[in-house]
């Protein structure tokens, strides 16, 4: 095929915020399956679809993004992530509810709406305090868990259309919150515009999302997968919200997912919420870091390759020494790491997960069997390879008994470390 003809069939991707053509690679992790589509035993002989994990940086607005190769319907139709199976996330949710209830003086007359409310793990704490809540969660199997918990939940994707319908039902929100959802949205304008519509005049929006600066600095490439359409800096998010007449008046740095931001937004020009010094401080820090310089992102791909080689070197040396390795967890980030590094049962005998929804299945792409955590005592691995490294303290505490047979813990990122 001639070069000119080849160019005609190569798809051109455009920025989901500013519509500029995407030309600059942030990182290319090759082809990977959907990270939460765990394989049933009866599906092991079937073909599994793989999609590109090629992430770009927009040269105009500097939004780092993965093109939409699969629709949200494909990703969230039958979803395997339930937040309630993490004690760390439950503690984080409870602390947030106590803080924001006090800060906004929420009462029994308020309405809290959570976007991507998962299994009700967070809204349950508002409800227990008598604050009215509404969850919006498109994954029906996960939403059912919330409904069974007594949390009213709408099973739809959020955007302007749903927001307008809720306003017509007189259900505007005093607080709209979304933890780890903004990055999951392919149509940012529809999503943020919907929040603008749904928010009361005096209302507040809080969103949490992994911080792009931490992803780059700590080499957290495994947080890249198909349900994460965008990788966000404060600078870019502030620009996105401003385009919809929403002002970010405060920001906090929190330690979830390797380092996240919690932003606070309100209607533009609202004087009730003075702008915190943390806004300008973080904006200046990101500028000094180089958030609006393409060169800042250029070396990331090479660092990722070096990390892959380091992980594989450890696993090869360990197996040559006759030692066994089991995984802990089957999270989305873990499946990116396993597939990019080519780690299958030749390196990892098995993995375990607390979520019964995943047990008895196999990891996507790499086909590693997933057992209940109790299986660790049966397998007695020499090393427990912690795939949800962001929960390493929780995992190491719960599984400290592996030291009875000399077992050790391995945390692969930000850099591979072995803990006795």
Separation of alpha carbons 284 and 123, rounded Å: 34
Question: What residues does each domain of the chain span?
Answer: 3-67, 83-297, 301-419
- What is the Cα 1 distance to its own chain's centre? 40
Q: How wide is the angle at C-alpha 373 spanned by C-alphas 370 and 379, nearest 5°?
A: 80
pTM, to two decimals: 0.91
Is the Cβ–Cβ distance between 217 and 210 less than 8 Å?
Answer: no
Is the Cβ–Cβ distance between 39 and 368 less than 8 Å?
Answer: no
Is the Cβ–Cβ distance between 228 and 184 less than 8 Å?
Answer: yes
Q: Helix crossing, 277-289 with 234-242: angle to 10°?
A: 120
Give the homologous superfamily in CATH for domain 301-419. NAD(P)-binding Rossmann-like Domain (3.40.50.720)
**pLDDT by 10s per residue, the chain, length 420:** 455 444 445 678 999 999 999 999 999 999 999 987 889 999 999 999 999 999 999 999 999 999 988 776 665 556 555 666 678 888 999 999 999 999 999 999 999 999 999 888 999 999 999 999 999 999 888 888 899 999 999 999 999 999 999 999 999 999 999 999 999 999 999 999 999 999 999 999 999 999 999 999 999 999 999 989 999 999 999 999 999 999 999 999 998 878 999 999 999 988 788 899 999 999 999 999 999 999 999 999 999 999 999 999 999 999 999 999 999 999 989 999 999 999 999 999 999 999 898 999 999 999 999 999 999 999 999 999 999 998 999 999 999 999 999 999 999 999 999 999
Question: DSSP label at 116?
Answer: S
Q: How wide is the angle at C-alpha 304 spanned by C-alphas 212 and 80, nearest 5°?
A: 65
Question: CA quadruple 129, 133, 136, 142: dihedral positive or negative?
Answer: positive
Burial 280-317 (b: 16+ CB within 10 A, else e): eebbeebeebebeeeebbeebbeebeebbeebeebbee
Parallel/antiparallel/unpaired status of strands 383-386 and 325-328: parallel
- Beta-sheet strand order (sheet of 383-386): 370-371, 351-352, 325-328, 383-386, 408-411, 417-419
Separation of alpha carbons 63 and 61, rounded Å: 6
8 contact partners, CB below 8 Å, separation of at least 6: none
Across-strand partners of 179? 208
Distances (CA, A) of 243 to 13, 118, 298: 22, 28, 28
Tokens standing for 369?
């069997």
Is the Cβ–Cβ distance between 329 and 38 less than 8 Å?
Answer: no
Give residue 79's pLDDT.
56
Separation of alpha carbons 111 and 114, rounded Å: 10
Tokens standing for 260?
């996240």
CATH code for the structural domain at 83-297: 3.40.50.150
User: Which of 210, 217, 257 lies closest to 391, judged by CA?
Assistant: 257
Give residue 219's pLDDT.
94
In this chain, the answer to whether the domains covering 83-297 and 301-419 adopt an identical fold is yes
Is the Cβ–Cβ distance between 194 and 217 less than 8 Å?
Answer: no
């Amino acid at each position: 095929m001639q070069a000119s003809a080849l160019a005609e069939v190569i798809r051109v991707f455009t920025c989901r915020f500013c519509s500029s053509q995407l030309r600059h690679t942030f990182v290319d992790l090759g082809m990977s399956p959907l990270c939460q589509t765990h394989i049933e035993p009866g599906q092991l002989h079937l073909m599994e679809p793989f999609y590109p994990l090629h992430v770009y940086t927009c040269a105009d607005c500097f939004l780092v993004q993965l093109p939409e190769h699969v629709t949200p319907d494909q990703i969230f139709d039958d979803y395997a992530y339930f937040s309630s199976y993490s004690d760390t996330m439950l503690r984080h949710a409870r602390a947030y509810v106590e803080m924001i209830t006090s800060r906004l003086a929420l009462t029994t007359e308020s309405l809290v709406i959570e976007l991507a409310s998962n299994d009700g793990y967070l809204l349950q704490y508002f409800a227990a305090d008598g604050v009215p809540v509404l969850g919006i969660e498109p994954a029906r199997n996960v939403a059912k868990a919330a409904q069974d918990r007594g949390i009213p939940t709408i099973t739809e994707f959020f955007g302007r259309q749903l927001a307008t319908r809720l306003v017509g039902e007189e259900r505007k929100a005093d607080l709209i919150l979304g933890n780890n959802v903004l990055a999951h949205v392919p149509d940012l304008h529809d999503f943020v515009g919907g929040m603008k519509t749904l928010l009361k005049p005096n209302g507040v929006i809080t969103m949490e999302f992994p911080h792009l600066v931490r992803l780059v600095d700590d080499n957290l490439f495994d947080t890249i997968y198909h349900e994460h359409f965008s990788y966000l800096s404060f600078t870019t998010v502030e620009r996105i919200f401003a385009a919809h007449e929403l002002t970010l008046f405060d920001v906090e740095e929190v330690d979830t997912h390797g380092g996240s931001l919690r932003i606070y937004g309100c209607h533009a020009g609202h004087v009730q919420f003075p702008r915190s010094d943390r806004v300008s401080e973080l904006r200046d820090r990101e500028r000094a870091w180089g958030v609006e310089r393409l060169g800042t992102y250029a070396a990331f791909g090479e660092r990722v390759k070096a990390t892959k080689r380091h992980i594989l070197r450890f696993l090869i040396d360990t197996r040559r020494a006759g030692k066994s390795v089991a995984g802990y967890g089957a999270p989305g980030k873990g499946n990116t790491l396993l597939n990019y590094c080519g780690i299958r049962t030749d390196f990892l005998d098995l993995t375990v997960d607390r979520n019964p929804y995943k047990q008895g299945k196999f990891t996507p792409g790499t086909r590693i069997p997933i057992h209940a955590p109790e299986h660790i005592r049966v397998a007695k691995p020499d090393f427990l390879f912690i795939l949800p490294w962001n929960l390493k303290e929780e995992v190491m505490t719960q599984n400290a008994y592996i030291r009875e047979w000399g077992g050790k813990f391995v945390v692969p990122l930000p850099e591979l470390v072995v803990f006795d």
